[in-house]
Structure 1
């Protein structure tokens, strides 16, 4: 069963954000666009490169009304220690959710069986709490924040323009399609 179209499940978690420990729940997510960016573990190798890329582009996400939540099964204490010791992670100003009990990770069905670690997964959630986009990659394949930005723009566009769809390689300002009987076999 696909998780696309599913509603955000209830959760409460401790997180590290901008020098403070905070509590985050699904209620904090509703009403705005959100990216849940799962990664296997703090103090690893591919993860800090992805999170740094995301941090470098976080201001652009915010201008689009998108909140970023990175999530791993480490604790919020571990997130703070990593933030304080890694130049790449030190750039992060978005919320870093600690999920040692795996509640959030299991809610998104991204937990590695028998390992207690999240897979490398990205989920875009709309303001109604509905998952609109999912990307899961293997352990060694890092993600690209610019591609994620493009996909979020497309998701926001189609949400604001019912009846239109964004074709392959669509960029903001490009032509969209309006599926209809007249288009069948003409693309």
Structure 2
């Protein structure tokens, strides 16, 4: 069942960021756009390539008014160790959320119960805490930060201009569509 349009559940988890640990709650995420980026585990193979890609685009997400929250079922201590050992993960400046109790993985419906890990899920959440984009890929398929940033900007555009929609390959400044009966069959 899709989470699109649904409000995210309350949560309180630990995060590792900037050499510190801290608590992050649902309340902390409200009022701004968020990308919740789930991945199976620290110290793995595809995951560091994805987190590094997001780190390379972090300033663009921040400029768009969004925070990135990477999430795995590892602890904040494992996140710290990974950050210290991996050149790719050392680039990460966004909060790395720890979900060993599977609160977030269950709430976003990406928990692989048998493995005790999260699927590769990406969720763009609006400032009111409602899911606007939901993407889940198979474990071996990495995601692209450019596309997630494009989806974030499209979600923001649609939220601001409710009478317009963003076609495939839309980028800020590109033409949009105004759904109407007159447009049917014209595309």
**TM-score bin (small chain):** over 0.9
Task: Report the alpha carbon displacement of residue 8 of structure 1 after superposing the two structures with TM.
Answer: 1.1
**RMSD of equivalent CA atoms:** 0.6
Query: Gaps (5+ residues) in structure 1?
Result: none
- Alpha-carbon displacement from aligned partner over 1:69-97 (angstroms, at most 9, x marks no partner): 00000000000000011000000000000
1:12 maps to 12
What is the CA–CA distance in structure 2 between the aligned matches of 1:150 and 1:84, rounded to whole Å? Answer: 30
2:49 maps to 49
What is the CA–CA distance in structure 1 between the aligned matches of 2:104 and 2:139, rounded to whole Å? Answer: 19
2:160 maps to 160
Task: Report the alpha carbon displacement of residue 186 of structure 1 after superposing the two structures with TM.
Answer: 1.1
What is the CA–CA distance in structure 1 between the aligned matches of 2:75 and 2:3, rounded to whole Å? Answer: 25
Q: Secondary structure at the match of 1:97?
A: strand
1:136 maps to 136
Q: Secondary structure at the match of 2:13?
A: strand
Q: Secondary structure at the match of 2:112?
A: coil
What is the CA–CA distance in structure 2 between the aligned matches of 1:162 and 1:15, rounded to whole Å? Answer: 35
Task: Report the alpha carbon displacement of residue 113 of structure 1 after superposing the two structures with TM.
Answer: 2.8
1:30 maps to 30
- Alpha-carbon displacement from aligned partner over 1:115-145 (angstroms, at most 9, x marks no partner): 1100001000000000000111111110000
Query: Gaps (5+ residues) in structure 2?
Result: none
Divergent runs of 4+, >6 A: none
Alignment of 1:43-122 (within 5 A): 43-122=43-122
What is the CA–CA distance in structure 1 between the aligned matches of 2:147 and 2:173, rounded to whole Å? Answer: 16
What is the CA–CA distance in structure 2 between the aligned matches of 1:60 and 1:186, rounded to whole Å? Answer: 35
What is the CA–CA distance in structure 2 between the aligned matches of 1:104 and 1:113, rounded to whole Å? Answer: 13
2:185 maps to 185
Normalising by structure 1, report the TM-score. Answer: 0.99
